Chain A
Amino acid sequence: MSARTFRSSETVDFAVVGSGAAGGVMARELSQGGFSVVLFEQGPHWHASDWEHDELKYWLLNGIVNDPVQSPQTFRQDPDHKAERTRDTNALIYARRVGGSSVHFTANYWRFHEIDFIERSRLGPIAGTGFDDWPITYADLEPYYTKVEWDVGVSGLAGASPFDPPRSKPYPMPPMPVKSSGVLFERGARKLGLHPFPAPMAINSVPYRGRPGCVHCGFCMGYGCEVMAKSSSLYTMIPEAEATGRCEVRAESYVFNLPTDAKGRVTGVTYYDKDRRERFQKARAVVVCANGAETPRLLLNSASSRFPDGLANSSGLVGKYLMFNSGQELGAVFEHPLNEYKSAQVTRIVHDFYDSDPKRGFYGGGGIDARIGPQPIFWALREEEGAPKWGAAFKARLEEFPRSLIVYTHTTSLALAANSVSIDPELKDAWGVAAIRTTYRDHPADLSTARFLGDKSAAILEAAGALRVGKVPVSEARFSVHLLGTCRMGNDPARSVIDKFHRTHEVRNLFLCDGSSFVTSGRGQPTMTIQALAFRAADHIGRFARANEI
């Protein structure tokens, strides 16, 4: 069945704003559930044949992501300072294409652990932070994690990690073939008594659900997959939504306002079409899945006399508690070629330091993985401590590329009210819509955790027989692709924006689901959890709609 097109004068059941990891799931689940859906996306609808192996275009020229010319932002570290416009890249980065950031993600797909949802109860409060439990537990999400693995497509080895939370089914595909980085990382970690295991990846290791297996070209992180092996919403959820005949993907349609009626209900979405004409689509309910940056921005920009501080913002928490995930990067060089630029970024990870441990003296934990990370240009521009920056010694370093690997640590970020997405008082984007202002400074515990895991990573690399190990110094974050926590879920309307079913506490027919829903940051790799939340939210939203409770 071909994709449906709706007239904007028709009232559709759902307008879903944002076509990424969450929006794709939402559109597929609601349309398969019998509802009419228009899926809005700011960016164009690109297909597999549109992507290229072009590091300059995608990493330097913002070829996929929100670019700082058309969609500028401002940044500051301190709420007392004036935020400055960022130059070469935005502070909050996301892919502005149908499929959203699931197009260019690295596809690391580990589940959160049980502790992530109940950490405050276990550890107690942390002064000066918004550290809190989630209103749901791992057990609530487990069926939906399984749904992500099977319906979206995740490769992995169930039971390989002794730290993994319980699961109801194995992975549908075996793990990706191990790379030299994975072998060395596993060797070093096992020597230290740790428990490295095959990385779960949202990449087809074998043909699955009509899509081919990975061809190991190596252009995953920051690129669209040219063979559709990466399990992006673009290739998985969205075509299935369109196939229902009840879902229209409306690309190049930039939603900037959610109008409300006299009863305080949203009536639909106001957007600019591809010719920058203002349009309105009527909808019975709106689900915003626009990511942790654009979701709070849309609510704040939808302020009205009835909602003077922004839509659904009587708690004052819309945009607050922004979390990035912290971490440290290390590099190592070995005797023989690894050729890490081939295949998926990550094949082995360690979760031995996942939980926070009071003995360390600071809150936090995380995971460690081995990879090459970026392709040649950004690999060459990494700044390890003490590394030569030019001349013959720099060139000699560049020639180590095939014998090198990179280790990333992925760590917690504490929720701080000062860290936020707000509306810049002056700056407008190319459409005249008020721009994002980001305020962010890592909590000291986040940086301590990053350094702690960096030291553990160095020990693993030494044990693996590295000829040299170098660290990129931990620094305060000024940008991120992990956009979390800005419309957090909770049971108390005074301390959260949405309830545990993703309905805003104040607007009955407005739901939010994406990274903004997170209460804690997890330990990086948020997309798996974003999609599990979306499957669960869609289940409940569909149930409410059928029961006429929206």
Chain B
Amino acid sequence: MSSTDPSATTSRRSFLGASAATFGAAWLMAHWPQVAAAAHAAHENAIAEGGGGFKFLAVDEAADVEAATAQIIPSGDTPGAREAHVVYFIDAAFAAFFAAQAEDFRKGLAEFRAGCQAANAGTAFAALDQGKQHAYLGSVELTPFFGWLRFLTVAGLLASPKYGGNKDGLGWKMIGFEDNHVFTPPFGYYDRDYPGFVPYTDTGNKT
């Protein structure tokens, strides 16, 4: 099937219309309750059964890290960092490819957690209500540690699932990215009916 075959173009157009619904936010809207239920159940079970299987983070550290990532990219109508297993990405990263920075991270995390408890009568970040979590994060959002956590949250949401986050490609589905090896034009809404390049008759005021 050549790219200039008109019937191919027509079928790709109908596919394009369908693909947004199939892979994008609409898919998640339709499937989100089941996805969320499954993800939560798996997560609760994992933690109950033995510390969540973390390789680098202690369980209480992991709880705070996960709660913070869930504030950075919250759940809602669609999955967020929690359902995408960002905390598992972060844990795996410091156990492997970011190992050289692992102790710096743990030190930053300890300061983050101590600061939170100092500001909240000894309550750990994960145990705070949403409003208080939000307020504490707001108070540290300009610190390098928060920048680091934000970076890791985004990476855990959107890196290849093989690194432990972006579970089942939820992060990619959330933002509307497809990891395919072949695409064919038209690629989007605006290039469907491009009439072709019209040559210029002027010189562009070239001097």
A interface residues, Cβ below 8 angstroms from B = 53-56, 60-61, 69, 157, 159-163, 175, 177-180, 182-184, 195, 197-198, 215-218, 226, 334, 336-343, 352, 355, 375-377, 380-381, 389-392, 394-395, 398-399, 401-402
Name B76's closest neighbour in chain A (CB-CB): A392
Decide: B151 and A381 in contact? CB cutoff 8 A: yes
- A179-B160 in contact given A162-B203, A380-B154, A380-B175 (Cβ < 8 Å): no
Contacts A55-B158, A215-B182, A218-B183 aside, 5 further interface pairs with beta carbons under 8 A come to A177-B3, A183-B191, A377-B155, A389-B150, A401-B175
Q: Which residue of A has the minimal Cβ distance to B202? A: A162
For the complex formed, measure the closest distance between the CB of A539 and the CB atoms of chain B, giving whole angstroms: 30
User: Most A CB atoms within 10 A — which of B80, B134, B185?
Assistant: B185
Q: Decide: A180 and B76 in contact? CB cutoff 8 A.
A: no
Our pick among A162, A195, A343 for the contact of B185 (Cβ within 8 Å) is A343
Give the residue of A183, A216, A375 whose beta carbon is less than 8 angstroms from that of B184: A216
Closest 7 CB pairs of A and B: A336-B189, A180-B188, A180-B190, A162-B204, A402-B176, A56-B159, A401-B175
For the complex, what is the distance from the CA of A377 to the CA of B186, rounded to whole Å? Answer: 24
- Report yes or no: B73 in contact with A390, Cβ–Cβ below 8 A: yes
What string of 1s and 0s marks CB contacts (under 8 Å) between B58-85 and chain A? 0000000000000111101010100000
Asked if B3 and A60 sit within 8 Å, CB to CB, the answer is no
Docked Cα-Cα span, A177 to B206, in Å, equals 28
Determine if A390 and B71 form an interchain contact, defined as CB atoms under 8 angstroms apart: yes
Residue of A nearest to B69 (CB): A390
Q: Are the CB atoms of A394 and B73 closer together than 8 Å? A: yes
Which residue of chain B lies nearest to A216 when distances are taken between CB atoms in the complex? B183
Instruction: Kindly list chain B residues whose C-beta atoms are within 8 Å of the C-beta of A216.
Output: 182-185, 187
What is the number of contacts between chain A and chain B, taking CB atoms within 8 Å? 151
**Chain A neighbourhood of B177, CB < 8 A:** 341, 375-376, 401-402
List 15 interface pairs A-B (beta carbons < 8 Å), by A numbering: A159-B199, A161-B204, A162-B200, A162-B202, A180-B189, A218-B183, A337-B20, A337-B188, A343-B185, A355-B207, A376-B158, A377-B154, A389-B150, A401-B175, A402-B20
Residue from A54, A175, A184, A395 in contact with B74 in the complex, judged by beta carbons closer than 8 Å: A395
A42–B141 alpha-carbon span in the complex (Å): 42
Say yes or no: B183 contacts A376, CB within 8 Å.
no
Complex-state Cα separation, A56 to B90, whole angstroms: 13
Q: Give the CA-CA distance A96 to B177 in the complex, in Å.
A: 29
Q: Is B172 engaged at the interface, CB distance under 8 Å to the other chain?
A: yes
B163 proximal to A (CB < 8 A):
yes
Q: How far is the CA of A343 from the CA of B199 in the complex (A)?
A: 24
B196 to chain A minimum Cβ distance, whole angstroms, is 9
Partner of A391, one of B134, B185, B188: B134
Give the distance in Å from the alpha carbon of A183 to the alpha carbon of B186 in the complex.
11
Closest B residue to A176 by beta carbon equals B185
B25 within 8 A of A: yes
Complex Cα distance A341/B177, Å? 7
Contacts of A182 in B (CB 8 A): 191
User: Is the beta-carbon distance between A390 and B155 smaller than 8 angstroms?
Assistant: no
A214 to B104, CA, bound (A): 43
Chain B's closest residue to A464 (CB) is B190
Complex CA gap A66/B87 in Å reads 29
